[in-house]
Chain A
Amino acid sequence: MTSGRTACHAAMLVATVAVAPAAAVAQSGWGVGGGAATRITTVRRATLAGSEVLSGVVVGGEGRLAAGRFTLRLAYAEGSLHPDGGDTRQQYVEGSVALGLVPLPGLEIAAGPYARAYIVDAIPQRRLLSRLHARYEAAVVGDAIRGHVEAWAGLLHEPSGRAAGSWRGGGVGVSVQPVGRRIAVRVSYMIDRAHPDAGPGPETVEALAITVTVGRT
């Protein structure tokens, strides 16, 4: 993949999350939100030769559809990661779908599949995961500044579906939404760690993201 294709995907995501909510959010009982994110991502993982550190910028989008207490979350991101001290660039792609429930105001518990892939010379190295995700968001300064914390845990899967390891992670962030506006800016930090049952060792992904959102995400 090229950086041009990445930009194209990002633009489509932004259009999807920014325009579609405006048409749908007015319907009572339904809530739609979305955002476009830029993430500085760092991957540390064990290899047969020892370990490697990859870093780069990943661009993506996210969407959230709420109907009463139920939610549907979609996310997609991709970008290029560069190894420290190396020239071999790797394409990074991730995507997820999660169905959620809001048992208490601000608290959302969701579950669903998650996929992550590293592509080197058109050969993908995939991670298939399932996760249980909890997220709590609260107003800090009125509705203008809100904060959130999240945590998740899950399983690594082989292509056959068999469990092949564990996975956990968490994140924290703060969003600023000017009074009277539907657009907000969110800064967040997240980190997760996968423990494959087989292979060279664990893999840690860490990211600092800036997300522009529309509606409630």
Chain B
Amino acid sequence: MTRVLLVLVAGLVAGRASPARAQDGGDLLVQALAAYRALDYDRAATLLRQALDAGGAARFPDSARAEAAVYLGATERFRGRHAAAAAAFRRAVAADPRHRADTLVFPPEIVQAFDAARRSTRYVYVRTARDTAITTGDDAYVVRLYASAPHDLAVTVRSEGVGDPRRLYAGPIGDSLEVSWDGLDAGGRRPLEGALVLEVASGTTRQHPSLVRIPLTARVTGADSLPLPPVPDSLLLPERERAGPAVRALVAGLLGGVAAVALPAAVSPGESTEPGRYGVGAALTLAGLVGFIVHRPGRQIPAGVAANHATREAWRRDADAARDARGQHRPGVKLQVSAGRQTPFAGGEP
């Protein structure tokens, strides 16, 4: 394990970490392990603590930080500082709840002390897919939990800062646990979109629970695979003019114009002197021509388009309300879920 730790640290120093900060932690760790092997525990403890506290240590893999903390606990144990040793072991568990003291490297006394510290803590490591797509209601977003020791925990997902949380699990965890989320909100009806938070709370409030938070981003990327039933035609207005209204307008205008001119001849031949009737006839004829142009076949009818849009929106709202009333969700919504880096909050002993 020591060799593994050295390889990890060397790799960080050589390539992955930023030069200055990783150099600090990596060099310190190499020197600390050399002092440990030379049984110079005072120097080893000082160097290990400096290495873990150095800024570059945060860039170490969780397993490397946990291993370094176990070395620190062993060093403190050999120095007779049992409380400091227990604290170092808990630090190792916090870094990686799955970590165990290597029985080939450390003597049974150290392994037992580490196990005692591990059993007295309740840290959880959460593994999620960084970026995945699910179909709400059908697929599941899987969250894997690894516990430092058996205990009770609760897993929830909620919109950041608002809304009721969707409880995914509440109960005991042994070594590990798999929890799934169907992508829906607290009511199990609608996709939960936007900035979300996945929370894993270990223990109860009275027991100083630890809390792990993972920011999630969820966005709907696909439409329903089962579309709404179409709006019945009887509820929709025409959106394009047909030939009928245009022809009727033209005929009405022309006939009205002819009637205005011909009416005196039909009622009282030869006696009309009112020229105004020609104006009425011309107005009717002109109106008929305007009506033909306004209602020309194929022309879009803005009022019909707007009314149908409102009708379709109302139809969709009614369908959603009906689903809500039946406790159903919109099936088949594609949800893209991205996970951020997990952040552990206060953890503690029982």
Contact = CB atoms under 8 A, between A and B. Distances in A.
A193 B259 contact: no
A172 B277 CA distance: 9
B263 A191 contact: yes
A147 B274 contact: no
Interface in B203-243: none
A165 to B, nearest CB: 14
A145 interface: yes
A146 to B, nearest CB: 9
Contact of A147 (B252, B271, B294, B295): B252
B287 A147 contact: yes
Contacts of A173: 280
B280 A187 contact: yes
A204 B259 CA distance: 18
Interface string B285-306: 0011011001100000000000
Contact of B249 (A140, A187, A193, A207): A140
Contact of A174 (B255, B274, B283): B283
A145 B280 contact: no
Contacts of B255: 149
Contacts of A187: 279-280, 283
Interface string A185-214: 001110111000000001010111000000
- Counting chain B residues whose Cβ lies within 8 A of the other chain, the interface size class is 20 to 34
Given A189-B260, A206-B274, A208-B274, A174 B284 contact: yes
B249 A141 contact: yes
Interface in B240-285: 248-249, 252-253, 255-256, 259-260, 263-264, 266-268, 271-274, 276-277, 279-281, 283-284
- Counting chain A residues whose Cβ lies within 8 A of the other chain, the interface size class is 20 to 34
Contacts of B279: 187, 208
Given A138-B248, A208-B277, 17 more contacts: A42-B273, A140-B252, A140-B256, A140-B284, A140-B288, A141-B249, A141-B290, A147-B253, A172-B263, A172-B277, A174-B280, A189-B260, A191-B268, A191-B272, A192-B267, A206-B268, A206-B272
19 contacts: A42-B273, A140-B249, A142-B291, A145-B290, A147-B252, A147-B284, A147-B287, A149-B255, A168-B267, A170-B263, A174-B284, A187-B280, A188-B280, A189-B277, A191-B264, A204-B268, A206-B272, A206-B273, A208-B277
- The 3 lowest CB-CB distance pairs between A and B, nearest first, are A208-B276, A189-B277, A193-B268
